[in-house]
Amino acid sequence: MTQTPDFQTLDGFAAVILAGGRGTRMRSELPKVLHAVAGVPMIRHVADAARGAGFAQLVAVVSPDGEATVAAAGPDVNSAIQAEPLGTGDAARAGLEGVADASNVAIVNADLPLLTAHTLAATARRHLETDAVLTLVTAEFDDPTGYGRIARGDGGVITAIVEEVDASASQRAITEVNVGLYVAHANWLQAALAALVPSASGELYLTDIVGHAAASGATIATHTLADVSEIQQVNDRVELSRAEAMMRDRIRERVMREGVTLIDPASTFIDASVTFGPDTTILPGVHLLGRTSLGVACRIGPNAVLENVVAGHRVRIGNSTIEESSLADDVEIGPYSHIRPGSSIENNVHLGNYVEVKASRIGANTRIGHFSYVGDADIGQAVNIGAGTVTANYDGERKYRTEVGDGAFIGVDSMLVAPIVVGAGARTAAGSVVTNDVPPGSMVMGVPARIRPNEGAESGDD
């Protein structure tokens, strides 16, 4: 979800996103940062926040097999490989090697999906205003368990970040914690990372750069978070569910403020990449997924599911499922219908209940009332499809297309056996099984359907 930037661009700023962790507590074959929050991989949320803040370069630090992780972050993200998992300091060093000509570098973990562009931009602004070599984001917690504590000396000067496992009783009582988001002068950071000393486990800890800066007397600035939910880190499925709930609450509040009515927000599920026009109303039980886009004054639900759907203005959809399809203006779809991938529904089409459409174009002003299957078909404008109509598109080996011309009338219980063309203005009688093309303006009937003789021929008149 792209976020509104505080700056148009942050010239000379790069963001290094640490995404090489194994995430073993997720107990998943999928890399941790590829798990979705509100339909979007965690790393994409973080990358979008950096984009929204105006960072000119984005670099994702991944393991040697992390191509999918980089791809999920977005096409403008460069990769840096951490050959071995030797700690966050080593990952930051690998990321810095992938940065080109940046004067300042932000380092952020990829498992912070709730982080906002505003926070990244505000941290960068604080860094510039204070002329610090290092700026870190902190937060205040009543219960800081699990976080590294911010140790301060005389005058409130930061002296170190103390990890909980190493903290004394008095240090554990500190409520100001390290968030894991840093902005630093690039040249200084390069030297500080090179000076890191391996821990007893052999890993290099990024947090040690704070002690390095303090020991040298360099200026360290902080930006304190107002909303601590932004640093909801995700390490396991429980934390994933918490981040999901908070993100969905955030999305619902945003879209309502943008002019969308949610009748029952708690039962409405909206992915982060969904967009709306104003004056749209969403009824209870609706799921709007993927890159769904709704126009102005639509009405959706109740209990509709739309995934990767592009809809125009004044679209009305009942309790139906629509996938990977486009709907033009003034389309109406009743309950219990299913629009399957690859379908295009043009202006002012009416689809009633129990209509299934698959990989088909339905022309403007066409009506399909109920109980019909239209698959692999091109239906013209102002066509009437009677109840029970089926396009028989599969012969057991191949699928074929059906074409119905403008203004045609397909009678109830007609079966159109593809490949077949029903011409403009043609008609099929009720119960017809159509196995051959129907010329424009003619009528067919029967099993198999044949062209109806004209009345003169039937009566014997010349």
How far apart CA 365 and CA 323 sit, in angstroms, is 21
CB atoms within 10 A of CB 42: 29
350 catalytic? Reply is no
Structure tokens at 60: 């994702």
CA atoms of 11 and 55, how far apart (whole Å)? 7
Q: Which residue has the tokens 């029970």?
A: 388
In this structure, what token pair is assigned to residue 335? 């309950």
Hey, what are 135's tokens? 């700026």
Is 91 exposed, middle or buried, given 0-12, 13-18 or 19+ CB atoms closer than 10 A?
A: buried
Residue from 35, 45, 223, 370 carrying the catalytic annotation = 370
Phi and psi torsions of 118, nearest 5°: -60, -45
Taking each helix axis from N to C end, the angle separating 186-194 and 208-215, rounded to the nearest 10 degrees, works out to: 110
* Residue 444 · residue 460 · CB < 8 Å: no
Instruction: Give the span between the Cα atoms of 232 and 25, in whole angstroms.
Output: 16
3-state secondary structure 166-199: HCCHHHHCCCEEEEEEEEEEHHHHHHHHHCCCCC
Return d(Cα 120, Cα 183) in angstroms, integer: 9
**Both tokens assigned to 248:** 């969905």
Of 376, 383, 327, residue with least CA distance to 356: 376
Degrees, nearest 5: CA angle 345-349-354: 85
For residues 382-411, b (16+ Cβ closer than 10 Å) or e, as one string?
A: bbbbbbbbbbbbeeeeeeebbbbbbbbbbb
Give the C-alpha separation, 108 to 181, whole Å.
Answer: 5
Q: Structure tokens of 31? A: 């890399």
CA atoms within 13 A on the CB side of 44: 17
Beta bridge partners of 361: 344, 378
- Are residues 102 and 94 in contact, defined by beta-carbon separation less than 8 angstroms? no
Angle among Cα 322, 327, 331 to the nearest 5 degrees reads 100
**Active site members:** 370
